[in-house]
Amino acid sequence: MDAYLTIIGKREVRRYQDRPISDAVLTQILEAGRASGSSRNRQPWRFIVITDRTRLRDVSTFMARPVNVSDAAAAIVIALANARAAFDGGRTAQNMMLAAWTLGVGTCPNTPLDEAALKAALGLPEEMAVPTVLSLGYPAAGERRPLRKADPAGVLKRINRLALGELVHRQTYQG
Amino acid sequence: MDAYLTIIGKREVRRYQDRPISDAVLTQILEAGRASGSSRNRQPWRFIVITDRTRLRDVSTFMARPVNVSDAAAAIVIALANARAAFDGGRTAQNMMLAAWTLGVGTCPNTPLDEAALKAALGLPEEMAVPTVLSLGYPAAGERRPLRKADPAGVLKRINRLALGELVHRQTYQG
């Protein structure tokens, strides 16, 4: 799949088919997270892969939108060494979500509502941070799917984002 | 360029050719940042593009490794609404770095050493946060370049990262 189209075409998918993700596909997604760069190559992350339905439901109770996680085919908890690693956490999460997208798997980052309780339920030490839990699954009917062929200009025109002119400054914030 | 290979093959590039990046290429990179998902689609980012050599040198003085920025063809300052948006900042940064990679442009995230002084120099309000300044340029001789064709398994075997078994847990952190 084309890299640029994958990047600009990636949309969050929150409703999934009742279809498991194979270990081979999960491994490819996790490898993309492992390959991510990080400050001083510290790799301040651990990934907890959850596929057990009972545990997915348990974890979902700590999330802002439980259904995304409870009904997902899998979840990947991104556990960071500490909260200061959140920027690197976003890098590795994006790598995994883009890799999933190229494999036809939809994803969505889910913010914990009660991070302390979530960490306790997963057996994570207090000093670690969980900025997000990725929910994963093959997109349900009506959900967005990866674009195999599309005109990038058309994709960029249709996305629900601020215009580039509202986001970009030149040389300084006043420019 | 293949999406999965772009993601796993992306390496940080810190030394650049003395060759400008065209506005068209910079725009494609910025569009990839704009397209990124974020919590509640808040898009908590602004991008300051710096190509002026004097200003690149000025900004570099606030960085942990000044030379990465002072000698870059361009820099993109990622300015966030606040420090809590760091995870989303990592997502948009990764999108831009991967898009750059597909276009043959090397990048490296640079952590500010004195974030307050950097913000003042750029005219950014105090409440905003700058988790990183991306330096960009065509890779100098001897630096890594995008892999157009490679076996993913071979790439993953050679990268300087922890093994997957050291990073991945199953169902819980103890699993």
Report d(CA B89, CA B129) in Å as an integer. Answer: 10
Whether A168 contacts chain B with CB within 8 A: yes
Count CB-CB contacts under 10 A for residue A166. Answer: 10
Report d(CA B80, CA B142) in Å as an integer. Answer: 34
pTM (two decimals) = 0.98
Residues of chain B with C-beta less than 8 angstroms from the C-beta of A32: 4, 7-8
For A3-23, write each residue's pLDDT tens digit.
Answer: 999 999 999 999 999 999 999
Residues of chain B with C-beta less than 8 angstroms from the C-beta of A87: 86-87, 89-90, 93, 109, 131-132
Calculate mean pLDDT across residues A92-101: 98
H or E segment and range at residue A107: strand A106-110
Tokens of residue A84, six digits: 């200061």
pLDDT at B42: 98
Closest Cβ–Cβ partner in B39, B43, B109 for A161: B43
pLDDT mean values, one per 10 residues, chain B (175 residues): 96 97 98 98 98 98 96 98 98 98 98 97 98 98 93 96 98 95
Give me the domains of chain A, ranges plus CATH numbers: 3-146 (3.40.109.10)
ipTM above 0.90, yes or no: yes
pLDDT at B148: 87
Strand-pair category, A106-110 with A45-50: unpaired
pLDDT at A119: 98
Whether A127 contacts chain B with CB within 8 A: no
pLDDT at A19: 98
**How far apart are the CA of B59 and the nearest CA of chain A, in angstroms?**
10
Count CB-CB contacts under 10 A for residue B6. Answer: 25
For A30-71, write each residue's pLDDT tens digit.
Answer: 999 999 999 999 999 999 999 999 999 999 999 999 999 999
The DSSP code sequence of A36-75 is ---GGG---EEEEEE--HHHHHHHHTTBSSHHHHHTSSEE
**CA angle centred on B72, ends B144 and B32, rounded to 5°:** 75
pLDDT at B128: 98
Q: By three-state DSSP, how is residue B10 classified?
A: coil
pLDDT at B103: 97
Taking the CA atoms of residue A172, residue A94, residue A5 and residue B47 in that order, the dihedral angle to the nearest 10 degrees is: -10
pLDDT at residue A148 greater than cutoff 90: no
Q: Which of B142, B128, B121, B6 is nearest to B75 (CA)?
A: B121
Report d(CA B87, CA B44) in Å as an integer. Answer: 10
Whether A38 contacts chain B with CB within 8 A: no
For B13-29, write each residue's pLDDT tens digit.
Answer: 999 999 999 999 999 99
**Residues of chain A above pLDDT 90, percent:** 98
**CA angle centred on A58, ends A52 and A63, rounded to 5°:** 115
For A99-132, write each residue's pLDDT tens digit.
Answer: 999 999 999 999 999 999 999 999 999 999 999 9
Length, in residues, of chain A? 175
CA A162 to chain centre: 21
- In chain B, % helix, strand, coil (3-state, to 5) comes to 40, 20, 40
Tokens of residue A159, six digits: 């996305």
* DSSP label of B162: -
* DSSP label of B2: B
Whether A24 contacts chain B with CB within 8 A: no
